[in-house]
Structure 1
Amino acid sequence: MSTDNLAAVILAAGKGTRMKSEQSKVLHQIAGHPLAYYPVHLCQTLGCEKTVMVVGHQAQQVEAAFSDQPVSFVLQEEQLGTGHALQVTASAFEGFSGTLLLLCGDVPLLREQTLRQLIARHRAEHSSVTVLTACMDNPFGYGRIVRAADGIEKIVEQKDATDEEKKLQEINTGIYAFEAPLVFDLLQKIGRDNAQGEYYLTDIISLAKAAGHRVGACVLEDAAESMGINDRVQLAEAARILQQRINRQHMLNGVTLRDPATTYIDAAVVIDSDSVIEANCHLRGATRIGRHCTIQTGSVI
């Protein structure tokens, strides 16, 4: 699939109050990288011609953490909602015409293949907006997808949902594909008449439909990919899932892990085949293990 005329925005301005930390939420680490590294890396892998990160809380620290990455930064001085966060990037995309991905700096588990499917669906259906959705047994706290016969009718936030709408299990992951520059024209029409008093990006769905534009959806097979990190419990859960992925890939590549459940390998670690990692080992940073090596129990490298 061609990813020509592709750009991305990564939302990373929030404080993350529930983390109860002096550090910006997107700088908390899993598998050796800050949370926001993972969407940045996805943008590079997809070949985005431009990636813009929206910063706010601890903006200087966040910018410093990603100063060596091909990312530009836009400051959201007031956090007035997700619609406002995307709106402040408009000047950064002057002259850009194509597909604009919206990613979240606190969602580290999205896979490249998922975004390729989202882009392919968006373009194949000639949509102006395509939402990445997921189905959850317990969708509390998430915006619900309200469908009509011709597709998505609207997205309603938890605090604004009726009792019937709260029963819906298809949710908005907060990941989108838009067509630019149309998306910035639609953003100008979003208001703040809602329970939060914010500019909801989700309002762009009904605005696009009212203007005669196609709105599509791409349903995520594994809802865990869309997990947003809001507290330390979710941080630990995301770390566990990512570690399972990393360990599984090493084993498929010919590495023996004696006890994968107690083996902790950072994302950048390289291990050549026919090596053995005994139980309770920690391999960190840019560690490289050659062929036919054995790392003994309890090692930290």
Structure 2
Amino acid sequence: MSNRFVVILAAGQGTRMKSKLYKVLHPVCGKPMVQHVVDNVSQLGLQKVVTIVGHGAEKVKNQLGEQSEFALQAEQLGTAHAVLQAKDLLFAEEGTTLVICGDTPLITAETIEALLKHHEQIEAKVTVLTAYIDEPAGYGRVVRNSEGHVEKIVEHKDASEEELRIQEINTGTYCFDNKMLFDALSKVSNENAQGEFYLPDVIEILKNEGYIVSAYQTKSFEETLGVNDRVALSQAEQLMKRRINRKHMVNGVTIIDPESTYISADAVIGNDTVLYPGTVIEGKTVIGSDCVIGPHTTMKDSEVGNNTTIRQSVVHDSKIGNDVAIGPFAHIRPASVIGDEVRVGNFVEIKKSVFGTGSKASHLSYIGDAEVGSNVNLGCGSITVNYDGKNKFKTVIEDGAFVGCNSNLVAPVTVGKNAYVAAGSTITEDVPENALSIARARQTNKEQYVGQLNNKKNS
């Protein structure tokens, strides 16, 4: 296997998207299109990845970070001109260079590997990735000679009647001998209606110099879909969603309604977990085995253990243990750690807190900036009062404590081990271990008050 390099074309603004966000940064199943491309090609043992940036260059660089080197196309003058910007980074290299567009998120590492192997095995100087399509209108046609090599690539508008009947199209992905690529790029002309330098002209130049132009036809046209507008973006989203869902189902995950279930490309889900309709799993979420998620649950960048149920709730940037029951209508906000065998019920919100093994907040509670021990019970309406309008403060509730309904714990405050807080209390001082704390006004009954009040109204 020769050295391998890749040039990713990601400089265009994408005016047809009609968006402030640069085209290649539009997400498909939660991940920017160009990130999909980089992640896929990074599986191929490449010596160098070069991304051509232009519009939104800094944002693209921030997205890809150290996964790629970058070359700037300050003025967009065509695809050949874009690849030429990588000359300083690649010109001296020996090997094969893959050129691929940053708006093709569906193309798989397997297809790219097959293209590269075909190119290397026949020792081609250039190989075009092609696809068969029933309705090829608008695509460049691949015209082959009697030996099956590429005779030419003709654009739809320039094709003859016979050529228009060809259903093999150019996908815009190519393999080149690296040195010959940059030599030919210097010979590309912009003498065309658009005044731009086009990469397919390199193919014509190499063919005229006597080199064979090979083609590798992928079995899936869908993989080669380029996203140029919101319609194509929605198509890519649906295709990617189905691919991801199918992968998880094949691996032992039950998805009740795949059409209404969204899973990010980076999510990991254990076998025998069940996803109900309306579930959205985003980012690098990891879910264990034998879980029940949904219906209508959203999770992002979180970790969930085994045998846990999360129904009609939202979980972000948090860690949840084994045998936990959450929901319905709970909100686990970022930086929360939920221990094993915990119960978090309806309308409970937890933020930046540790919630210990076996503890319960069954309904209508807010736990923020807190450290809750094991086997703690928080009654209905329990609140950690963590914010004074300027600063946040911590509440500590130690193992075995029982906090009665409608209690306010005004931080900073500690409730000791096995302590009790009476219902309706507002706690402003620490509660000692094994103590009962009552912090509420003594009840006063004013007899016959209603009658006296009515007499005053009538007088």
Q: Normalising by the residue count of structure 2, what TM-score does the alignment of the two structures yield? A: 0.63
Q: Counterpart in 1 of 2:165? A: 167
Q: Counterpart in 2 of 1:112? A: 109
Q: Counterpart in 2 of 1:188? A: 186
Q: Tell me if the contact between 2:125 and 2:177 (Cα under 8 Å) persists in the aligned partners.
A: yes
Secondary structure of 1:57's aligned partner = coil
Q: Counterpart in 1 of 2:128? A: 131
Distance 2:207 2:258 in 1: 48
Give 1:167 shift: 3.3
Give 1:160 shift: 3.5
Unaligned runs of 5+ in 1: none
**Are 1:94 and 2:56 matched, yes or no?**
no
Q: Counterpart in 2 of 1:143? A: 140
Aligned counterpart for 1:279 among listed residues 254, 277, 290 = 277
Q: Tell me if the contact between 1:26 and 1:35 (Cα under 8 Å) persists in the aligned partners.
A: yes
Unaligned runs of 5+ in 2: 300-459
Q: Counterpart in 2 of 1:41? A: 39
Distance 1:85 1:168 in 2: 29
**Are 1:220 and 2:250 matched, yes or no?**
no
Give 1:180 shift: 1.1
Tell me which moved more, 156-165 or 212-221: 156-165
Q: Counterpart in 2 of 1:84? A: 81
Distance 1:123 1:75 in 2: 29
Q: Deviations over 1:179-216 (max 9, x none)?
A: 11111001111111223221111111221111111210
Give 1:163 shift: 4.4
Q: Tell me if the contact between 1:10 and 1:54 (Cα under 8 Å) persists in the aligned partners.
A: yes
Distance 1:35 1:227 in 2: 12
Q: Tell me if the contact between 2:136 and 2:167 (Cα under 8 Å) persists in the aligned partners.
A: yes
Q: Counterpart in 1 of 2:30? A: 32
Name which structure has the greater RCO, CA cutoff 8 Å, separation 6+: 1
Q: Counterpart in 2 of 1:70? A: 67
Q: Counterpart in 2 of 1:153? A: 151
Return the index of the structure with the highest Cα Rg.
2
Distance 1:230 1:183 in 2: 26
Amino acid at match of 1:15: Q
Q: Counterpart in 2 of 1:290? A: 288
Amino acid at match of 1:276: V
Aligned counterpart for 2:18 among listed residues 17, 20, 28 = 20
Give 1:146 shift: 1.9
Give 1:285 shift: 1.0
Tell me which moved more, 186-195 or 215-224: 186-195
Distance 1:161 1:195 in 2: 16
Q: Counterpart in 2 of 1:254? A: 252
Q: Deviations over 1:274-297 (max 9, x none)?
A: 111111111111111111111121
Q: Counterpart in 1 of 2:242? A: 244
Secondary structure of 2:71's aligned partner = strand
Amino acid at match of 2:263: I
Secondary structure of 1:181's aligned partner = helix
Secondary structure of 1:66's aligned partner = helix
**Are 1:268 and 2:266 matched, yes or no?**
yes
Q: CA RMSD in A?
A: 1.3
Q: Deviations over 1:18-69 (max 9, x none)?
A: 10101100000011110001110122100111000001111111111112x4
**Are 1:52 and 2:50 matched, yes or no?**
yes
Q: Normalising by the residue count of structure 1, what TM-score does the alignment of the two structures yield? A: 0.95
Give 1:144 shift: 1.5
Q: Equivalent pairs: percent with the same residue?
A: 45
Q: Would you tell me which structure has more helix in proportion to its own residues? A: 1
Q: Tell me if the contact between 1:156 and 1:202 (Cα under 8 Å) persists in the aligned partners.
A: no
Distance 1:235 1:251 in 2: 24
Distance 1:166 1:58 in 2: 37
Change (3 A) 1:5 1:112: same
Distance 1:164 1:193 in 2: 26
Distance 2:136 2:84 in 1: 27
Give 1:12 shift: 0.3
Give 1:161 shift: 3.3
Secondary structure of 1:36's aligned partner = helix
Tell me which moved more, 99-108 or 204-213: 204-213
Change (3 A) 1:160 1:88: farther
Secondary structure of 1:101's aligned partner = strand
Distance 2:138 2:186 in 1: 26
Distance 1:95 1:279 in 2: 54
